[in-house]
């Protein structure tokens, strides 16, 4: 069965650089969520999209932006990277806005800022 695809799997960037993370949801899933998980931390909600519109916003820094495209894939753009941005970034997808069945998460992108 198709899963949530995230790319790249690993990314190393220097401080003040820019990074773009991509998420391809399960086919026919129209809702995408982004989470950030620092070392030893629980996943923190960043932002979500439903039908290509932002639907909710969490603790996403102003340096980050995201969007969902017409094919429902989503991209998380991170600028002026800081050392503290080093984390696992997860994307999850679901059908619709009601979380009845649980989310399917991608394997994550591990971002290391040096």
**In the complex, which residues of this chain contact other proteins (CB under 8 A)?**
31, 33, 35, 41-45, 48, 50, 55-56, 58, 88, 90, 92, 97-108, 110
CB of 61 to other proteins, least distance (A): 17
CB of 80 to other proteins, least distance (A): 25
CB of 57 to other proteins, least distance (A): 9
* Neighbouring C-beta atoms of residue 31, cutoff 10 Å: 23
CA distance 70 to 73: 8
Residue closer to other proteins (CB basis): 22 or 79: 22
Q: What is the 3-state secondary structure (H, E, C) of 44-109?
A: EEEEEEECCEEEEECCCCCCEEEEECCCCCEEEEECCCCHHHCEEEEEEEECCCCCCCCCEECCCE
Residue closer to other proteins (CB basis): 16 or 97: 97
CB of 22 to other proteins, least distance (A): 15
């Amino acid at each position: 069965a198709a899963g949530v695809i995230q790319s790249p799997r690993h990314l190393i960037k220097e401080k003040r650089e820019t990074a773009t993370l991509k998420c391809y949801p399960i086919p026919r899933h129209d809702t995408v969520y982004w989470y950030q998980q620092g070392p030893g931390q629980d996943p923190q909600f960043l932002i979500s999209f439903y039908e290509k519109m932002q639907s909710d916003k969490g603790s996403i820094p102003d340096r980050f932006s995201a969007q969902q495209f017409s094919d429902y894939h989503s991209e998380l753009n991170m600028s002026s990277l800081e050392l503290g941005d080093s984390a696992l970034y997860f994307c999850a997808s679901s059908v619709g806005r009601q979380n009845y069945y649980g989310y399917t998460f991608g394997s994550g992108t591990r971002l290391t800022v040096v």
